[in-house]
Structure 1
Amino acid sequence: MNQPILLYSRCKVSLEEEIINYLKENPGASIREIAEALGLNYSIVRTIIYKLRSNGIISKSEKGFYILRDRSRYAGLKDTTKTNVDTLVDTMEQLRSLVNEITKRIESLELKYENISKDLSVYTSLKELVIQLKETIDKVNTKITFLEKEITNLKKQIETLSKYTSTLRRVVPSKDRDVKSSIQALLKSQGVIEVEEAKKIADSRIIHELIERGVILIIGPYIVSKEYYNQFKRKFPIPLSEERKLNSLERKLLKVMLSEGLAYIHGGKEYRIIE
C-alpha cells in the first residue's frame, strides 16, 4: 500500500537511469529480475524497457536485455529525457496497477461478505426452524400429557365396568334361569301363549334361546310349546265336522296354522298338516 509514495519519492532519480545502470552492471537481466532487484512494479519496468528499446538504447538477446551504447551518451538523461510529466506518468501507472489490485481485493472481500451474508441467512432460517420445532414439540408433549390422563381415566372406567360385568355375569344367569322356568311352566300349563304376553316375562334373547334349544316355536302371533305342538299334530287329519270338538286354544292354533301355510283343507272334508 505504501509503494506509490516510495515511487513518488524516487521521482528525483530517473527510473530509466536506474534500469540502465542495473543493465550496465547486470547485462542479460530479464524484466522480472529488474523489477525484483529495483523493487519496482513489473508493468512499470516493462513499459520503460519498451521505451528504451524504441529509442535504441537497449536491446534484447536470448538471455535478456543489455545496453547498446556507452553510458556517457545518456549523461544528463535525467534532465533532457525524463521530465516531471514522465515521472508523473510512471507514478500514475504505478497507482493504476495498485488501484486494480485494490479493486480485485475489494471484489474478493465483497464476495466473501456475500457468502457470509448467505451463511448468516441460512443460520437465521435454521434458528427459526429450530424454534418452531421446539414449539411443536412442546405442543405435542402437552397433548401427550393430556392423553395420558385420558388413558388413566379410561382404565379406571374399564376397571369399574369389568367389576360391574362380573357382577352381572353372576346375577344374570340366575335371573335368566328363573325367567326360562316361568315361561316353560306357563307353556306347560297352557300350551300356547301370545308372543306379546311372553315378552312381558322375558326379553327376545331368552325367547330365541328357547327356540334354538327346540323347547318352543313361534307360529304367527303365538308361542307354542314344542311338546304341545307335537301332541296337536297327532290329531291330524281332523275332519271338518269334528272341529267343534277342539278346545279354544286348539282352534286358535289351527286357524293360525292355516294362515301360515302349515295346514290345509283337503277335499273340503278334513284338515291336513303339511309336513
Structure 2
Amino acid sequence: MKKTLTAKVLEIVWQNPGSTIKDVAIMLNISLPTARAILYKLKNNGYIEKTGKGYILTSKGEWFINNVLLKEKTGGKESIEQKPEEKPVKTERVIVKNKREAEEDKKEIQAVIEQKQLVGLEEKVMAKIKLLESRINELEKTIQRITADLESIKNMLKTGKEHAKIMEKTEKPSSKPALALGTKKPARNTENKLPAPIMYVYEAKNTLGPLLDSLIRSGKAEIIGSLIVDSEFYKEFKKRFPITISEAERLPPMEKKLLEEMNREAIVIIHAGKYYKLVK
C-alpha cells in the first residue's frame, strides 16, 4: 500500500528524532509551508510533540508506527515490538549537517584570519607608538636645550643692560655733531634767535633751555626731524629747490643733513632720480 505524505512525515520523525520543519521539507522534497502544515496536524492529533526546534514521537505516535506502518511493511507478520533492521540512509540530512559544519568551519577560519590580522595590526601600531615616543623624547631634549640657551641669552642681555646703565652714568659723549659751516660755537644766547641757522634739537635744548620753546611758539624756529632750523634761513633754503643730486652732494654738512631730514619727513622727494623737489 502506498504511504500517504502524512505517514512519511511521521516516519521521518520516528527515524530522526528532533527533526525540524526544514529537515522534513528537504528529506521529502516538499515546501516549507507543506511540511509545517503536516507537522502541526500530527502535533494537534497527538502523534508528535515539540522538543527544542524539532519534533519527536509521542506514545501515540510510537503505537501508530508499530501497529500500522510496520505491519504494512511486513504484511502483518512482524511483531508489534519489532522494528526494521535497517533505517533508510538519511542522505539529505547528512548533506544539511555537512553544510552547517562547513559554514561553521568557514566562520572559524575567518575568525582566525581576522585575529591574525588584528595581531599584525597591533604590532604595527605598537612599533609606530614606540617610534613616536622616541621622537617625542628627542624633541623634549631639544626643547630643554633651547630653553637653557634662551635663559642664558636673557641673563646676558640683563647683564648687558645693567652694564650699559652704569656706563651711561659714568661716561660722557666723546663728540658732538659738527656745526653748520661758517658758524661759531654756540654760547648762551642773549638774543631772541637760534645761535646757528641749523642745529640738532638736543644741542639747542642744552644751549637755549626754555628759550627754545619760546622761539618755536613765536615761529622763529621750526623742527625738521632731529633738527631745529631758523625760520628765515629755512624759508630761503626752500627757495633753492629744485636741487639736483650733484648740487646736493656739494652742500655744507648741516645743510645736507637738513635735506636728508626733509626727505625723511616727506617735505621733499627725489624726482626721476635726478633732483630733489618740494612736495606741494
Q: TM-score range by the shorter chain?
A: 0.3 to 0.5
Structure with the larger helix share: 1
TM-score, length basis structure 1: 0.43
Name the TM-score, length of structure 2 as normaliser.
0.43
Q: Which has the higher contact order (CA 8 A, sep 6+)?
A: 1
